[in-house]
Chains A and B, each alone.
Chain A
Amino acid sequence: DVKVTQSSRYLVKRTGEKVFLECVQDMDHENMFWYRQDPGLGLRLIYFSYDVKMKEKGDIPEGYSVSREKKERFSLILESASTNQTSMYLCASSLEARLGGYTFGSGTRLTVV
């Protein structure tokens, strides 16, 4: 059973802090994704990666960056946290979407105060 583990379930940070959200998958998936989930807006793609050290911007990359130094780990970085980044952050991994879709992590509820 594929496991996608996000390091924190709940996180509270102050405005201006640098925030790291970690995601680890254990099934040797090439593809990893970061989404944020907000009421009424669904799942919006922030960044994704198809390989180690590779990254591509999604639909809402502003204010975020990512790091993928190892195949199993994909980190989302909030360079300077702001209150409008308060959200649920979901990590996902996949072989290829057409082979079976994503497996999501449990999510990190980030509150920026």
Chain B
Amino acid sequence: GENVEQHPSTLSVQEGDSAVIKCTYSDSASNYFPWYKQELGKRPQLIIDIRSNVGEKKDQRIAVTLNKTAKHFSLHITETQPEDSAVYFCAASGGANSKLTFGKGITLSVRP
């Protein structure tokens, strides 16, 4: 089955700096890669996703890039703000079903 790795487990950045979170996946058949943000005490919420026929996608301050050859994808957050502090999960799915396999999550802290 699919295995999604997410490193490191924590990341701390200064407000205004950029943050990059990387994930790798194992199943070359995976074709859908969403990112979820979970604020403290709240449910995970989809913030951006990318499909395998696209190399990059942007939405305001966030972007996701996909490298199918290397089987990794990354979340880029520019001009970070304190409200970006949260746990971020990457996930992958593909093939005949829609089951998502999640990474273990990374805790992003934005220092004011």
Residues of A within 8 A of B (CB): 31, 33, 35, 40-45, 48, 50, 58-59, 90, 94-98, 100-107
Contacts and interface: CB of A to CB of B under 8 A. Distances in A.
B9 A97 contact: no
A101 B104 CA distance: 17
Closest 3 CB pairs of A and B: A97-B98, A42-B104, A43-B102
Given A42-B104, A107-B43, A98 B31 contact: yes
26 contacts: A33-B100, A42-B6, A42-B89, A42-B102, A42-B105, A43-B105, A45-B99, A58-B99, A90-B43, A90-B44, A94-B98, A95-B98, A97-B32, A97-B34, A98-B31, A98-B51, A98-B98, A100-B46, A100-B49, A101-B32, A101-B36, A101-B46, A101-B100, A102-B44, A102-B46, A104-B44
Interface of B: 1, 6, 9, 31-32, 34, 36, 42-46, 49, 51, 89, 93-94, 97-105
A59 B2 CA distance: 11
B64 to A, nearest CB: 12
